[in-house]
């Protein structure tokens, strides 16, 4: 069911009409936090969504953590652009979000193609408005095959590091402008517990995530004075498609067995809940580095 609610943005003072999707059961009432996009209550607190008025971009939104995050941010009121290469999957997720009363846009693009990422940013600006919430999540994890002629490490660097840079380059001007106008914006990047872990056979992946986490520490210093809150999320194993095909059936089975031994894994939705929590804190609160592990991973 969709309920239209006219409210006042507590930051800009401008009236806006928002759609409240009650299908997910995840609508929450606005707190007293003065986060931009938070809509002040008008007496019907049950229909107020904490991300109403915000424009979110989620990369890697065709599956796993990105898909769950796009769905959750939309259910909490944000207009969400979903970016990844598999256009058919994105279209399906957009249809699902819209059917639940949310607003979403499919933006097929490869993050290793800076021109495509720039074009995607222009499209988001034209169709949804200036982004004030970026979830930089697209990535992949492959074994290195170092010394055996493989170059998967290069793909890891291209997608996980180069792609993250391209997306940040394309969207940071919008985040900074949104923060200047409304007082606040959020840049979230999905790194990994691998940023700090020794993973034999996956050194390229671990190194790429170490680069991302360190980039985020630097960006936080640069962007905090501009009111852009920077958050690195560093999950351990999550139940997604990431390990479904490591390019080597024997290795894929071995890795899947090792991960299964950890017991039940967090889901993409568990990570999405953490992201939604971080971006709805009051603006004087920053959660720069968030870890999320399977309960039995130590």
Ligand X SMILES: NC(=O)c1ccc[n+]([C@@H]2O[C@H](COP(=O)([O-])OP(=O)(O)OC[C@H]3O[C@@H](n4cnc5c(N)ncnc54)[C@H](OP(=O)(O)O)[C@@H]3O)[C@@H](O)[C@H]2O)c1
* Residue in the structure block whose two tokens are 């979903």: 82
Least separation in angstroms between CB 182 and ligand X: 28
The rounded distance, in Å, linking the Cα atoms of 120 and 14 is 27
If binding is defined by CB under 6 A, does position 269 make contact with ligand X? no
Site residues for ligand X, 2-21, by CB under 6 A, read none
Catalytic site positions:
205
If binding is defined by CB under 6 A, does position 85 make contact with ligand X? yes
Report the length, in residues, of the chain: 298
Q: Using CB under 6 A, which of 62, 213, 269, 280 touches ligand X?
A: 62
Runs of H (alpha helix) within 183-283:
203-223, 249-260, 268-279
Instruction: Pull the structure tokens for residue 109.
Output: 């693009």
Q: Using CB under 6 A, which of 36, 76, 110, 168 touches ligand X?
A: 110
71 by Cβ neighbours in 10 Å (0-12 / 13-18 / 19+) ranks as buried
Comparison of 27 and 73: residue with beta carbon closer to ligand X: 73
Least separation in angstroms between CB 156 and ligand X: 9
Q: Using CB under 6 A, which of 37, 53, 143, 235 touches ligand X?
A: 235
Instruction: Pull the structure tokens for residue 235.
Output: 């999950």
If binding is defined by CB under 6 A, does position 86 make contact with ligand X? yes
* Residue in the structure block whose two tokens are 């059936």: 249
The rounded distance, in Å, linking the Cα atoms of 24 and 3 is 13
Q: Using CB under 6 A, which of 97, 237, 246, 290 touches ligand X?
A: 237
If binding is defined by CB under 6 A, does position 47 make contact with ligand X? no
If binding is defined by CB under 6 A, does position 213 make contact with ligand X? no
Order of all β-strands in the sheet with 79-84: 103-108, 79-84, 55-59, 133-136, 185-190, 228-235, 289-292
Instruction: Please identify, among the stretches 23-31, 59-67, 169-177, 273-281, the one whose residues bind ligand X according to the rule CB under 6 A.
Output: 59-67
If binding is defined by CB under 6 A, does position 242 make contact with ligand X? yes
8 A C-beta contact, residue 238 and residue 181: no
Least separation in angstroms between CB 100 and ligand X: 20
Q: What is the dihedral of CA 129, 175, 204, 64, to 10 degrees?
A: -40
8 A C-beta contact, residue 238 and residue 64: yes
Site residues for ligand X, 119-178, by CB under 6 A, read 137-141, 159, 163
Task: Give the SS3 label for residue 176.
Answer: helix
Comparison of 178 and 206: residue with beta carbon closer to ligand X: 206
* Residue in the structure block whose two tokens are 């603006």: 283
Q: Using CB under 6 A, which of 111, 121, 175, 230 touches ligand X?
A: 111
Q: Using CB under 6 A, which of 84, 100, 134, 168 touches ligand X?
A: 84
Interaction site with ligand X (CB under 6 A): 59-66, 84-86, 110-112, 137-141, 159, 163, 190, 192, 235, 237-238, 240-242, 268
């Amino acid at each position: 069911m969709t309920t239209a609610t006219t409210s006042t943005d507590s930051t800009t003072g401008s009236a806006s009409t928002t759609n409240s999707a009650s299908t997910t059961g995840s609508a929450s009432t606005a707190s007293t936090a003065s986060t931009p996009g938070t809509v002040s209550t008008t007496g019907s607190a049950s229909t107020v969504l904490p991300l109403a008025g915000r424009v979110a971009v989620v990369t890697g939104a065709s599956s796993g953590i990105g898909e769950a995050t796009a769905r959750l941010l939309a259910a909490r009121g944000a207009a969400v652009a979903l970016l990844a290469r598999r256009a058919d999957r994105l279209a399906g997720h957009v249809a699902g979000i819209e059917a639940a009363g949310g607003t979403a846009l499919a933006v097929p693009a490869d993050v290793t193609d800076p021109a495509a990422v720039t074009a995607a940013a222009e499209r988001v600006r034209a169709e949804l408005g200036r982004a004030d919430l970026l979830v930089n999540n697209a990535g992949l994890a492959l074994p290195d095959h170092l010394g055996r002629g493989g170059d998967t490490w290069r793909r890891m660097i291209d997608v996980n590091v180069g792609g993250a840079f391209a997306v940040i380059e394309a969207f940071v001007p919008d985040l900074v402008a949104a923060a200047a106008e409304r007082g606040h914006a959020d840049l979230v990047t999905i790194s990994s517990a691998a940023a700090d872990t020794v993973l034999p056979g996956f050194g390229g992946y671990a190194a790429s995530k170490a680069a991302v986490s360190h980039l985020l520490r630097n960006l936080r210093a640069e962007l905090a004075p501009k009111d852009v809150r920077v958050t690195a999320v560093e999950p351990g194993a999550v139940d997604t498609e990431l390990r479904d095909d490591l390019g080597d059936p024997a290795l894929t089975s071995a890795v899947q067995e090792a991960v299964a031994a950890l017991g039940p894994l967090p889901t993409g939705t568990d990570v999405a809940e953490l992201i939604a929590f971080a971006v709805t804190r009051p603006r004087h609160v920053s959660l720069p580095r968030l870890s999320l592990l399977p309960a039995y991973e130590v």
